[in-house]
A and B are shown apart, each in its own frame.
Chain A
């Protein structure tokens, strides 16, 4: 047993109900009594033995048949020790209350709101427990509960998407928003010393706004142009992927993950497929591992180019946008050649990849990598030292390392604050352990450092790809597991045995063992994690997506306060936020 679990058991004999170590998957999990969660959490955060300073995710599961129906599942990461822990607490349906851990991890704010919204578990002591992904006036229940139908409930589920011409349009209600509804977006009133009346301006930014990168709405409370409070209103793109996944076979979920972070679908595929493979205990052929690494890094380059273009466009440098899209196009063409699509790739398969690299593709990729450093320098001539760019990004949206960890930030946003956390280094997967590369680290945690970190990552990615191409081994691209992976098409059409396997896998799917696992992957935006609970059936019992964009939005108010309206667009850009992933 892991020493930490022993410590926990001896330290909290009543609070800790059970401990478990999953040796095969390397997961630690602890079951605690819900009312005493906070003290265990505080110990885990503060004690140097544990030092779980980084909150990864909060998830919930519904077991309608159990006496304690709901389970809240916390994932913490200890950056000093490099270990993860899963803390679980059960609550009953009648009294679904868990103490809030926002006082320990600030990042828990949005995550707890999500659990409240989708599962209906209340968090005592949470500062602002409102719905977050569903509309605030939604009173049809909590969608992730098992008794909630997957096709939805409420007028929105009956919405007729084809407009009917014979019906009169809905009458416009030109009402003003009542003050009570506006209060959520205002800061706490400060005791005023003078008798002069001042009123802050509430500015509604989004969901239709050129700089919000999708359908994000932010309500800004402004003092002049200075922001006193920024309230993010998410969920305009909420599609219920997690709920959908509960009704789909494991294989069918892959195309749905394409639509999470639609700018970087390879990495989403990768993250999901890795989780399922971890659940199954499947090993992948070496060539497939290399191909996966290469395409994931190509996708990282694409994602970062997209980020650079849009960030520069938000700040007003239009040309960089078009130049970055020029290179992005080359890579997208390669993807198209590889798997027939440009954005929603659906390239990964459980146990391998869809199609093999052809020599022509490798040649084209090499040619791209040869020119790419020159292109990076080209972008930098317009930005790196440009005094306006520097002025717009230096010391804007600064976040200290402690805060960044406490908010659970990951990826370039965390690394720019000087924390060397990269899943690819901490838990090497794919071919990352076999090639030589570095993790760029920033110093100040401002927008310029995040820009710099991403620019360096572009170079590192092309380095990784070049090495992987040199080392690319020969061999199969799909694992040999006839129970899980459909046989090759040519065999299906020839012999009966393969055909039967094919039929069984496509109709019933495969049945992973009962269990649960969390697996993190380094996406361009940050740590993209999938948490899957399997009940032994061909469909996941619960799938939780730990979306970096969502977690980053939790720190938005913290990072935006005190800056100007112009900086808001910089902060959107610097998060590299994609709403498809944020709202899921």
Chain B
């Protein structure tokens, strides 16, 4: 009984901390995105709330919290309320298997704990893929339940887009899984230790660079970010599936989008860029503080990806629906499949 109790308390603490960090990152991201975009566009971004606008996310949050929550006439109330939750929960749930730092165990009251991963399940990556697909339902239902033609079109676009690009995400990481021989994110990351040439982007016997590119592009598409933000395209569909949402429900969609961005960035860092591993062998800090360095490298990598998201948004125009589909099925899919083939042969010829 005490064992379960202690483990439960520890897990809950871990979950609370991770959730807190994720939500904090979302807040930072909303500000960072506007600032980075602003700087790239020769303007300042938010400047009014707090010094240099740093308190803007809080103001935004308060505004959304106090806004009137409108359910449009003719909307399906149940699904309309369910959709934001369906979008947000899968985005947050994926963080359960992400290793944020070195795989070490600590002993507390005589029990073993892994402090940097909530739950190291051996099908980690499958678990994430499974849950992120559920997130698509939130968008589709939200679009459908709003009783608006714009939302409906946004939802339909999203359905097609998420299905096509989820496939590419799944296929792109198969190469990594073949090389690592495991589905656990912790094991995959551990296998990349010892310098950046061991990262799967560059690794022997077959560098996963193509898979990496396919993964990055597909994950941008999956999170509905520019240049793939067709479901919400503000100049065509006026925000698409969440046209009719306001207040906290809108905030949920918003949180889900940013949480998804963080999640795919974490996966990209863990699978392709060696997760918490530094780009040089070993660690610079002494053994007892090595985890600081690990966590730091992981954060740097994740933020690099997040910056990439902003950067792409500042640079690229939006694709058209048919072009998106063509790109997904005719370009990304063959590359991903080819990568699996070549990696399998390489892995067979040079077994570890």
Contacts and interface: CB of A to CB of B under 8 A. Distances in A.
B238 interface: yes
A211 B237 CA distance: 10
A204 B238 CA distance: 12
A383 B315 CA distance: 9
A174 to B, nearest CB: 8
B320 A392 contact: yes
A225 B73 CA distance: 25
Contacts of B43: 322
B37 interface: yes
Given A565-B153, A568-B236, A569-B236, A318 B313 contact: yes
Interface in A195-212: 201, 203-204, 209-211
A310 to B, nearest CB: 9
Contacts of B321: 225, 564-566
B107 interface: no
Given A316-B227, A319-B40, A564-B322, A388 B317 contact: yes
A323 interface: yes
A316 B233 contact: yes
Contacts of A326: 42
Given A322-B41, A322-B43, A569-B235, A317 B316 contact: yes
Given A225-B321, A319-B40, A388 B235 contact: no
Interface string B315-330: 1111111110000000
Q: Identify which of B40, B235, B313 gathers the most chain A CB atoms within 10 Å of its CB.
A: B235
B314 interface: yes
Interface string B212-248: 0000000000000011011001111110000000000
Contacts of B319: 388, 391-392
B149 interface: yes
Contact of B234 (A210, A566, A567): A210
Given A391-B323, A565-B153, A316 B238 contact: no
A110 B234 CA distance: 30
A316 B41 contact: no
A225 B153 contact: yes
Interface string A469-483: 000000000000000
Interface in A315-366: 315-319, 321-323, 326
Interface in B318-351: 318-323
Given A211-B235, A322-B42, A566 B317 contact: no
B317 A315 contact: yes
A312 B317 contact: yes
Interface residues of A, number: 33
A316 B226 contact: yes
A319 B315 contact: yes
A17 interface: no
A386 interface: yes
A211 B238 CA distance: 9
A318 B322 CA distance: 22
A317 B235 contact: no
A185 interface: no
Given A322-B43, A323-B41, A316 B318 contact: yes
Contacts of B153: 203, 225, 565
Nearest to B326: A391
A438 to B, nearest CB: 29
Interface in B291-329: 313-323
Given A225-B153, A322-B42, A323-B42, A210 B238 contact: yes
Contacts of B317: 312, 315-317, 383, 386, 388-389, 392
B42 A318 contact: no
A67 B245 CA distance: 62
B236 A318 contact: no
A389 B226 CA distance: 13
A382 interface: yes
B93 to A, nearest CB: 31
Given A388-B319, A564-B320, A318 B227 contact: no
Nearest to B37: A318
Contacts of A204: 149
Contacts of A564: 320-322
B326 to A, nearest CB: 9
Most buried by B among A225, A312, A315, A566: A566
A321 B40 CA distance: 12
A501 to B, nearest CB: 50
B87 to A, nearest CB: 22
Given A322-B41, A323-B42, A564-B320, A314 B235 contact: yes
Contacts of B313: 318
Interface in A298-312: 312
Contacts of A383: 317
A516 to B, nearest CB: 43
Nearest to A572: B235
B42 A388 contact: no
A568 B323 CA distance: 15
B236 A319 contact: no
Nearest to B149: A203
A350 to B, nearest CB: 40
A83 interface: no
B41 A566 contact: no
B238 A201 contact: no
A8 interface: no
Contact of B235 (A316, A319, A382, A391): A316
A355 to B, nearest CB: 31
21 contacts: A174-B73, A203-B149, A209-B238, A210-B235, A210-B238, A315-B235, A315-B318, A316-B317, A319-B41, A386-B316, A388-B318, A388-B323, A389-B317, A392-B317, A392-B318, A392-B319, A392-B320, A565-B153, A565-B321, A567-B320, A568-B236
Interface of B: 37, 40-43, 73, 149-150, 153, 157, 226-227, 229-230, 233-238, 313-323
Given A225-B153, A315-B317, A316-B235, 17 more contacts: A203-B150, A203-B153, A204-B149, A225-B157, A225-B321, A314-B235, A315-B318, A316-B227, A316-B233, A316-B317, A322-B41, A383-B317, A386-B316, A388-B227, A388-B316, A392-B318, A566-B320
